[in-house]
Structure 1
Amino acid sequence: MDLICEDSSYIHFTRTASSDKSSHYKCLKPFDQERKKEVLLPKWTKVLLIVLSVSVVCALVGICALGMRLSHAKHCSISVSDQYHNDTDYKGKFEELRVQYEETLGKLNRLNQSTGSALCAVHWIHSGGKCYYFSTVKMNWMQTRDYCVTLGGHLVIITSKAVQDFLVSEVKETHWIGLNDLETEGHWVWVNNQPLNDSMEFWMKRENGESEPDNWTKDHPAGEDCACLGHINGETDFWTDAFCFEEKRFVCEAPASV
């Protein structure tokens, strides 16, 4: 028996058996159309899959970034820790040096008390409770004044015959001393701003009566405003005034440690 299907797409039919042994027929869709119906997905499902894919990618990127930050933070924490330990080491070494310095200073003080003698720094000579430094280089007067200060002293101040004689015995050529009249011509003062005592001076005396200081201006109009021990000719047992820009050796003075 032929079965006519109302929809032309229903082109297959089948025969089924019933209990009364009569035959029944029904229209069927083609197999390919049934399979397409099963495979096709709704649009919202595709959108959901895209969103999920993007979310997964973002999550992976976030995990990578977090890992990099954690690695950087760990490196920084190690660097900070190393710096902290280095600072601690430096502080410890500084403290050790400070303790050694105090111990050494204490030993020197005890040595001074036990021997009753005063001590001077290396390259300084002790005399009459003071220390004297005789330079081996030459500078102008202003430079020597500042240099003696950096050594912890000042240009030598001569206020007694004993000091004058000691200096003369130690030098073989002219040396700067701490006497000048830079501010007021003829008014000589020491580097400690104390004026020269006229009863305790050792200026060079000439037979013709032209004694030092003479403020010689022939070679330079500013004149001679700084005092030195000795003369360029080699004598050292008197004072002369000289141009402050000349370079000479010098004598520094500092109190002796007791």
Structure 2
Amino acid sequence: MIEKHQLQNNFNSLSQKNLETRVKDLTAEKKQLQRDFDILNKKGTVFLFMSTELSWSDSRQYCRDRGADLVIINTEEKQRFISSLVSERVWIGLSDREQEGNMKWVDNSTLKQGFWLKGEPNNSGGNEDCIELNYYREKMELSPLNNWNDLLCSEKKRGICEK
């Protein structure tokens, strides 16, 4: 019985030490991530990749709740960069929800240069008003400069926020 009691005390002591070590490690990792975030934030643009699939409007609200908005892609360089980061179809901050055919970014600026898939935007079914960026697939006809598609805004997918 005494031996069992000693084993239980040893187990409790080891478990407590393991937990304390884990908490210490996680705290240090959190501090490092915060430092990295602060450095990136000082350099300018920060991109947040959503872990949840939401409609376009809900994705935009998700971004806005974090002091950001859906990403605006207004240069070829930025298009190539964002395309290199994604491995699935994602929402970007472009739509023609207000007026069909009049594409506007979330900051209300008009689209000057698009990176559309062949045949897009096509407003299939008469109600595709929100824009997704497809990921680059080497063996398909997608390229980093031709991978946008108009889609139903209610579709659920991850989005990219820009701060």
> What is the TM-score when the length of structure 1 is the normalising length?
0.44
Q: List structure 1 runs of 4+ shifted beyond 2 angstroms.
A: 117-121, 233-237
Paired residue for 1:215, among 123, 139, 156?
123
Q: Specify the SS of the correspondent of 1:145.
A: helix
Unaligned runs of 5+ in 2: 1-34
Partner AA of 1:204 in structure 2: L
Q: Distance in 2 between matches of 1:216 and 1:155?
A: 23
Q: Distance in 2 between matches of 1:120 and 1:134?
A: 15
Paired residue for 1:193, among 108, 119, 125?
108
Partner of 2:116: 203
Q: Specify the SS of the correspondent of 2:81.
A: helix
Partner AA of 1:230 in structure 2: N
Q: Specify the SS of the correspondent of 1:130.
A: coil
Partner of 1:229: 133
Q: CA deviation at 1:119?
A: 2.5
**8 Å contact 1:174–1:236 — kept in the other structure?**
no
Partner AA of 1:154 in structure 2: D
1:142 to 1:216, Cα distance in 2 relative to 1, 3 A: same
Q: Distance in 2 between matches of 1:251 and 1:120?
A: 16
1:1-258 matched pairs, under 5 angstroms: 118-120=39-41, 129-197=44-112, 200-205=113-118, 211-217=119-125, 222-230=126-134, 237=144, 238-254=147-163
Q: CA deviation at 1:215?
A: 0.2
Work out the number of aligned pairs and report it. 121
Larger Rg: 1
> What is the TM-score when the length of structure 2 is the normalising length?
0.68
Unaligned runs of 5+ in 1: 1-107, 109-116, 206-210
**8 Å contact 1:230–1:236 — kept in the other structure?**
no
Q: Deviations over 1:21-55 (max 9, x none)?
A: xxxxxxxxxxxxxxxxxxxxxxxxxxxxxxxxxxx
Q: Distance in 1 between matches of 2:83 and 2:111?
A: 19
CA RMSD of aligned residues (A): 2.4
Query: Relative contact order (alpha carbons < 8 A, sep ≥ 6): 1 or 2 greater?
Result: 2
Q: Distance in 2 between matches of 1:146 and 1:236?
A: 29
Q: Specify the SS of the correspondent of 1:165.
A: helix
Q: Distance in 2 between matches of 1:202 and 1:157?
A: 12
Q: Distance in 2 between matches of 1:236 and 1:168?
A: 9
